[in-house]
Amino acid sequence: MTKIVIAILANAGGVGKSTLAAHLAYELAKKKVATGIVDLDSNCSLDILTGLEPVEIENSTIGLFRDDFTEWHLSVPPEWKVKNLMVCQSHLGMTDAEKTLAIKRRGQYILQKRLKSYPIDKGVIILDCPASLGIICENAIAAATHILIPIELEVKSINGSVKLLEWIEVVRADLELEPEPQILGVVPSIYNAGKAQQRQYLEQLPDLFNPLGVKIFPAIRDSVEFANASGYGLPLHEYRPKHPAIQDFKQLTQEIIKLTK
């Protein structure tokens, strides 16, 4: 079993990155895979999704980017019934940290370096990235073995994901990464099958992504229960264990588990 690092990236806000990060992490941990989530977004969405109290700045992701970094500060999601899952929580101050990073020598490689001392040797680390494509996302690309791209089934998000793929290509080349992180695939998110337009976009995705060699995973359906579950700091699996949307994560989870073997 090896260490897989998955960066969840999209160049749009609110497309379901953090929801995907949290639910994927839950599924992996449930399958006994040692799993970590690193929240790289100053909006700290993972705190809400995991029901964790905010952390002090020095115990947050910001600490990773400091020169005086000594150790990882990890929280175990307290109310979840899974073991094997740890979260490195973010802090609002990430926006300032990002500015400092931009002027640091080799500022894009810091997370890559820190992950070498992450206390999981074998398993999966999920990087929940901010929507703005800057040096934090470049750090995530440099640290990742794989990249996962959630998209909403509307023009802005679909076009944005094609541009994102171009940007990733440029970053991968600029940073001269060896090995380069692979595009694991796109995950259509917040999918409402009752909307003809969304159905049509979903059908068209292979025409767009297959020529680029990018895999399309099963869509995650639109359900208000995702937001309701996060209101309790729980994954849907624990909030509504029989909810059909839980099935939507299965294939992706299996694929990731295969990578760890």
Residue 16 sits in the site that holds ligand ATP (CB under 6 A): yes
Residue 17 sits in the site that holds Mg ion (CB under 5 A): yes
Nearer CB in complex with Mg ion: 10/142: 10
SS (H, E, C) 91-109: CCCHHHHHHHHHCCCCCCC
Residue 237 sits in the site that holds ligand ATP (CB under 6 A): no
Residues in Cβ contact with 78 at an 8 Å cutoff, skipping those fewer than 6 apart: 51, 52
Residue 45 sits in the site that holds Mg ion (CB under 5 A): yes
Burial of 199 (0-12, 13-18, 19+ CB in 10 A): middle
Q: Among 11, 19, 157, 198, indicate the residue that binds ligand ATP (CB under 6 A).
A: 19
Least CB distance to ligand ATP at residue 161 (A): 12
Nearer CB in complex with ligand ATP: 9/34: 9
Q: Interior CA angle at 91 toward 90 and 93, to 5°?
A: 135
Nearer CB in complex with ligand ATP: 119/231: 231
Least CB distance to ligand ATP at residue 202 (A): 14
Residue 131 sits in the site that holds ligand ATP (CB under 6 A): yes
Residue 223 sits in the site that holds ligand ATP (CB under 6 A): yes
| Tokens standing for residue 3 | 């260490």
Residue 227 sits in the site that holds ligand ATP (CB under 6 A): yes
Q: Among 27, 47, 138, 222, indicate the residue that binds ligand ATP (CB under 6 A).
A: 222
- By CB under 6 A, what part of segment 38-97 binds ligand ATP? 41, 43, 45
Least CB distance to ligand ATP at residue 225 (A): 8
Residue 15 sits in the site that holds ligand ATP (CB under 6 A): yes
Provide the b/e sequence for 159-198 (b: ≥16 CB within 10 Å): ebbeebbebbeebbeebebeebbebbbbbbbbbeeeeeeb
- By CB under 6 A, what part of segment 172-191 binds ligand ATP? 189-190
Residue 152 sits in the site that holds ligand ATP (CB under 6 A): no
Nearer CB in complex with Mg ion: 18/145: 18
Q: Among 3, 14, 74, 257, indicate the residue that binds ligand ATP (CB under 6 A).
A: 14
DSSP lists the bridge partners of residue 87 as 37, 75
- Residue 27 binds what, of ligand ATP, Mg ion, none (CB under 5 to 8 Å, by partner type)? none
Which residues are near Mg ion by CB under 5 A? 17-18, 45
Which residues are near ligand ATP by CB under 6 A? 10, 13-19, 41, 43, 45, 131, 189-190, 220, 222-223, 226-227, 230
